[in-house]
Amino acid sequence: MRSRRPLYAALVCVVASLPFSASAQDAAILSAEARFHPVIAERGMVSSQEALATEIGVDVLKAGGNAVDAAVAVSFALAVTLPRAGNIGGGGFMIVHASKTGETVAIDYREKAPAAATEDMFLNDAGDADSVKSRFSGLGVGVPGTVRGLALAHQRYGSGTLTWADLIEPSIVLAREGFPVSDDLASSLSSNWIRMHLARDDEATRIFYGPTDGPPAAGTITTRPDLAATLQSIADDGPDAFYSGPIAEAIVAKVNDAGGRMSLDDLSGYAAEVRAPVTGRYKGYTIASMPPPSSGGVHLIQILNILEGLPIAESGLNAAKTIHLMSEAMSYAYADRSMFLGDPDFVDVPVGWLTSTDYAEEIRAKIDPDHATPSSEIRPGTPPAPYESNETTHFSVVDEAGNAVSNTYTLNFSYGVGFVADGTGILLNNELDDFSAKKGVPNAYGLIGGEANAVEANKRPLSSMTPTIVFKDDKVFLVTGSPGGSRIITTVLQIVVNVIDHGLDIASATAAPRIHDQWLPDEIRIEQGISPDTIRLLEEMGHTVALKDAMGSTQSILVTPEGTLHGAADPRSAGSLADGY
């Protein structure tokens, strides 16, 4: 590790002499006043939620792999070391920027509903939504997309210098020879909720609690022999080893034993998609983020468009006025999410309208600068007709050539549905709970949906995951993303505005207390650290303010104009690490 800490002392005079109006980009980089400092490197950087996975990614970069190669290796490693979210039995999204061609693409490897899925499959006999079916039974398991997504990324955007097997090898070694249980893994496995969740499946209990006859202590060396064998097959025979043959058979058997409806054809027919990212402009920067079936990019850009015409930089970071304006903008966006967003292969999502500056202006005109709008008065907008067609994990990678990867993937809940396909070590997801089981009934994150996100055969459930790359003058400026269910979009938003509007360096932008408003429930959710005076002012404007758990776990890399890399792993997650060389 050759990353170094910034020599801010030497910069104090320079910064002191800067006019107050120094550009946000200067401030984000120089930030002599900062209480938090990024990790700095010159050539390549990885920021992920688990240190061993970060180091594997850095080793790939040092060995001549590019950002995509590193991303593939990090993804497989997280499936071993961060099993509550890192996965091969789930799905996700990856934004890739290839510096040579200037191309930026969005790889969609979101899980799909099986062909036998039906609109009413999460309802009980009385016709009410039954969350046990969508969250805790085989019916909630989507056809996994991770392995096909990573294979597609490697094949099309890898450097060609490292093979697929080279990139899986470090994870096989971890799983076969063992790795020390991190504080984070020990603490999650000892939590009562996770113990109960995994106790429903003998195979999951055997793997996670069997060797130590209870939750493992931090520092204990643990092995995952079944997962090592599965990874070895995928390394030797490619992604087909996952989607057909004995591994696929074990997945299908487990899902169906648990009440699901998955077939071998569902697995063999699964394909990842390359989509055009959704893009927007914000104060001279270009934002590229995840299009549907994620709602993340659309609403990130919609909220930024609304904020572009509001004085949040002037009112200041986490001032009552700033929080008020952001919460109103968020609320309108989440109302639209409930109505218009779904899988674009099944429904026409009015992306152009939702991300237009005209529509943002329309919303802005409705925002009272001093008073909260009750959620009951906020309704999804009316598009012009006809319109055009806790636990996830994020990591970011930038390599020496300027390629970048922003990847968020998930099993949905911590440890997904809590079932392991027997003999494979593969934890299965419960992603199909992200569908709207019934119009107007919230999912596990309190998100409401309608027809556009109804369950249908082979459809992808709507997501909030928001892997994002921000460009300045066509060069990568910021790579970021986060877990956090419905809070993902607003968490990523705050990284962007903390850097661009408030001039924070990436470490301070990450550490700053976060807020969130998702229309329903009608409240602003805040983290610790927003002052009581600010809360009082917000309440005087008519807001309900609720202090809740920390939100998100951003993993970000900022690139200075000189090409220096500043990494910030979110301090909210024990064991996360940004590192480079």
Task: Note whether 328 binds ligand DON by CB under 6 A.
Answer: no
CB of 261 to ligand DON, least distance (A): 20
Task: Note whether 134 binds ligand DON by CB under 6 A.
Answer: no
Distances (CA, A) of 36 to 394, 418, 504, 509, 554: 21, 37, 10, 9, 15
**Distance of alpha carbon 494 from alpha carbon 514, whole angstroms:** 7
- Is residue 505 within 8 Å of residue 529, measured between CB atoms? no
**Distance of alpha carbon 233 from alpha carbon 401, whole angstroms:** 32
Task: Note whether 464 binds ligand DON by CB under 6 A.
Answer: yes
Q: Which of 412, 453, 468, 534 binds ligand DON (CB under 6 A)?
A: 412
- Is residue 247 within 8 Å of residue 268, measured between CB atoms? no
Q: Which of 463, 480, 510, 518 binds ligand DON (CB under 6 A)?
A: 463
DSSP code of residue 441: -
Task: Note whether 570 binds ligand DON by CB under 6 A.
Answer: no
Q: Which of 44, 239, 485, 503 binds ligand DON (CB under 6 A)?
A: 485
Task: Note whether 484 binds ligand DON by CB under 6 A.
Answer: yes
Is the C-alpha dihedral spanning 493, 496, 502, 505 positive or negative? positive
Positions in 142-161 near ligand DON (CB under 6 A): none
Structural tokens at position 409: 């993937």
Nearer to ligand DON, 25 or 146 (CB): 146
What residues contact residue 323 under an 8 Å CB cut-off, 6+ apart?
515, 524, 526, 530, 534, 538
Q: Which stretch binds ligand DON (CB under 6 A): 245-253, 282-290, 459-467, 524-532?
A: 459-467
Nearer to ligand DON, 399 or 431 (CB): 431
Distances (CA, A) of 45 to 59, 171, 228, 574: 10, 19, 27, 19
Nearer to ligand DON, 425 or 467 (CB): 467
Q: Which of 434, 501, 570, 579 binds ligand DON (CB under 6 A)?
A: 434
Q: Which of 355, 410, 436, 491 binds ligand DON (CB under 6 A)?
A: 410
What distance lies between CA 330 and its chain's CA centroid? Answer: 18
Q: Give the angle subtended at the CA of 108 by the CAs of 49 and 327, to the nearest 5°.
A: 65
- Is residue 238 within 8 Å of residue 151, measured between CB atoms? yes
CB of 463 to ligand DON, least distance (A): 3
Catalytic residue among 81, 222, 355, 392: 392
39-78 footprint of ligand DON as x/- string (CB under 6 A): ----------------------------------------
Structural tokens at position 298: 């659309």
Nearer to ligand DON, 318 or 443 (CB): 443
> Token match 């024990």: residue?
574
**392 classed as catalytic:** yes
Per CB under 6 A, residues contacting ligand DON are 390-392, 410, 412, 431, 434, 463-465, 483-485, 488
